[in-house]
Amino acid sequence: MLPFIYKFFLVPLTLLILVGCSAGESNVSQGNREGILHFGNGSEPQGLDPHVVTGVPESKLIDAMYEGLTRKNPWTLEPEPGAAASWSFSEDRRVITFQLQPEGRWSNGDPVTAHDFVWSWRRALNPAMGNLYSYMLYPVQNAEAYATGKLQDPEQLGVKALDDYTLEVTLSEPTPYFLQLLDHYSTFAVPRQVIEQFGEATDRFTRWTRPGNIITNGPFRLTEWKLNRRIEVEKNPYYWDADMVQLNGVVFYPTENLVSEERMFRVNQLHYTNDVPLDKLPAYRAMPDSPFVEAPYLGTYFYLINTARPPLDDVRVRQALSLAVDRAKLARSVMHDLVTPAWSITPPGTLGYEPPKLFDYEPERARALLAEAGYPGGKGWPGFELIYNTSESHRKIAVALQQMWKDVLGIEVSLSNQEWKVYLDSVSEMNFDVARRGWVGDYVDPNNFLDLYLSDGGNNNTGFADPDYDQMILERAPQAQDREERFRIFFEAETRLMEEMPIIPIYTYASKHLKHPSVKGLPSNLMDFVNFKYIRLEPVEVQEFEVP
């Protein structure tokens, strides 16, 4: 996730930090004293508009500054009160009535009302918004029809303000995971009064999200954004539950250069890293009282295939590429046994669901399929380009696959790294042949992975479209009488998906971070979710970490 030009920002900054701390107090020591968390956040964010962004780095910032109707508990992952103080269901579970927090405020002191959510959901679903996550609200009555332009009147959406603090939501069908959706940033309320000062409601990347303009309703508010250096937030005094917030602020650092990030942690310039260099895992695992934390992670690492571009428009080529990948070897030799091989998009065991496994590492079958497609032994192979967002880990995996495809299939593949924002544009515009991708569950349900590949899905980006698949995910599964029937439908749909192979699954994620001993209230969890509301810093003796 790091471009060539970015390194000229990051490396001098890191060197300055390291030089500066030798003569004075470290970020961690000062942060512990002042209640300021120093947090490695991966990429420079694409933006801060909840209805525009799509990445994990953005989600961390937005979760600190905004709050949905519900908020995810970091220990249980269950929804708990957020902007809504309580909610109740109708007998058929299709109508949910939310009572908003009477003390809910925007960071300028204005009240957060039910009308804010009505306006925001209409904005999030407006086709002109280009919201790639609009489908998160599709369980709401008429949401899909409005988002796809089949319905023009937003008044017909199943969301109404009964009064200033009562929001009524009507669903098309009972949706077991709907409350989980409401702590995803695509469903958050945004400040109409500010957005309309800087353009139309559906304008993207306007000045409303800049420091001095933006107002938010979460535990923290934005104070500074220095491009490619840091983003700072401070405790929001108007937050309805401000007494629960322990931190006085958070400093987010773009830390795609994992070597620099790990070095910053070792000399106490970061409390928490976004990632850990793969070659450092053995040393950290061997340390007594190690700051290294790893945990299962509800996510899949895979490659998107642009099925509209030859030779990848031939399903036999796509299947050959997948069968030629030795996932077990990759997990062992490149990933240091941190991850497990993946054979589908949905991680095994998601709410008890087990996805299909239709293939394995099958070199002979892979060569036969490629020959059937017209490229025996790689003869006449036209090549393609594999793109990935700049990261040493992504590069190592891409190089490993490049070599496997050469060894097994006799074909050449070129690699290209792209800076995060360029990479996101390439994927969303389908300006690629094959692209590195990862998907982390926004809620714990197979649906969150399978609805990616709906024909009109905002995050599909493959060209795969199957009306039968759409019907299974959108109609048959929601109407299933029980979980067993629902999972049978999901299994059938995912089998169709993996037979067509618009993606090449590589592995199921595990999260890995370095966490300073002073950081409390930040538990590992299946979604690698960080709830900044509960984090606190305890005074401990600050020493540099010695790592071979």
Beta bridge partners of 503: 304
Chain segment 9-39, per-residue pLDDT in tens: 333 344 334 433 445 899 999 999 999 999 9
103-118 average pLDDT score:
98
168 pLDDT higher than 50: yes
Q: Is the pLDDT confidence value at 1 over 70? A: no
Give the CATH number of domain 295-510; options: 3.10.105.10, 3.60.150.10, 3.30.70.1520, 2.40.50.180: 3.10.105.10
Of all residues in the chain, what percent carry a pLDDT higher than 90? 87
pLDDT score at 548:
65
pLDDT at position 133 over 70: yes
CATH number of 1-44+219-291+515-548: 3.40.190.10
The CA distance from 294 to 297, in Å, is: 9
Query: Quick one: pLDDT at residue 10?
Result: 36
Cα angle, residue 125 at apex, residues 119 and 130 outer, rounded to 5°? 120
- Over residues 524-546, the pLDDT tens digits come to 999 999 999 999 999 888 777 77
Quick one: pLDDT at residue 9? Answer: 32
Written as one letter, the residue type at 122 is R
Give the whole-angstrom CA distance, residue 192 versus residue 126: 14
Task: Identify the weakest region by mean pLDDT among 20-29, 161-170, 245-254, 378-387.
Answer: 20-29
Locus of tokens 């695992």? 285
Assign domain 66-203 to a CATH class: alpha beta
Cα separations (Å) of 154 from 75, 146, 217?
Answer: 37, 7, 24
Residue for token pair 């961690």? 28
Least Cα distance to 293 among 524, 41, 13, 531 occurs for: 524
Percent of the chain surpassing pLDDT 70: 96
Rounded mean pLDDT, 482-498 = 96
Q: For CATH 3.90.76.10, list the domain ranges present in the chain.
A: 66-203
Residue 536's pLDDT is what?
A: 98
- pLDDT at residue 3 is higher than 70: no
Which band of pLDDT confidence, cut at 50, 70 and 90, is reported for residue 176? confident
pLDDT in tens, 410-435: 999 999 999 988 999 999 999 999 99
User: Amino acid identity, residue 110?
Assistant: D
Q: How far apart are CA 466 and CA 459, in angstroms?
A: 15
DSSP bridge pairs for 251: 38, 232
Residue 2 pLDDT > 60, yes or no?
Answer: no
Residue ranges of the chain assigned to CATH 3.10.105.10:
295-510
DSSP annotation string for 208-263: GGSTTT----SSEEEEEEETTTEEEEEE-TT-TTGGG---SEEEEE----HHHHHH
Q: Tell me how far apart the alpha carbons of residues 468 and 199 are, in angstroms, rounded to a whole number.
A: 40
51 CB-near residues (< 8 Å, 6+ apart): 120, 123, 124, 129, 131, 133, 186, 190
Instruction: With beta carbons less than 8 A apart as the criterion, state whether 186 and 138 touch.
Output: no
First to last CA, the chain: 26
Average pLDDT over residues 454-461: 90
* CATH 3.40.190.10 domain span(s) along the chain: 1-44+219-291+515-548
| Per-residue pLDDT at 391 | 87
DSSP run (H or E) holding 147: helix 143-147
d(CA 28, CA 268) in angstroms, rounded, equals 5
Q: Categorise residue 446: left if φ over 0, alpha if ψ from -120 to 50, beta otherwise.
A: alpha
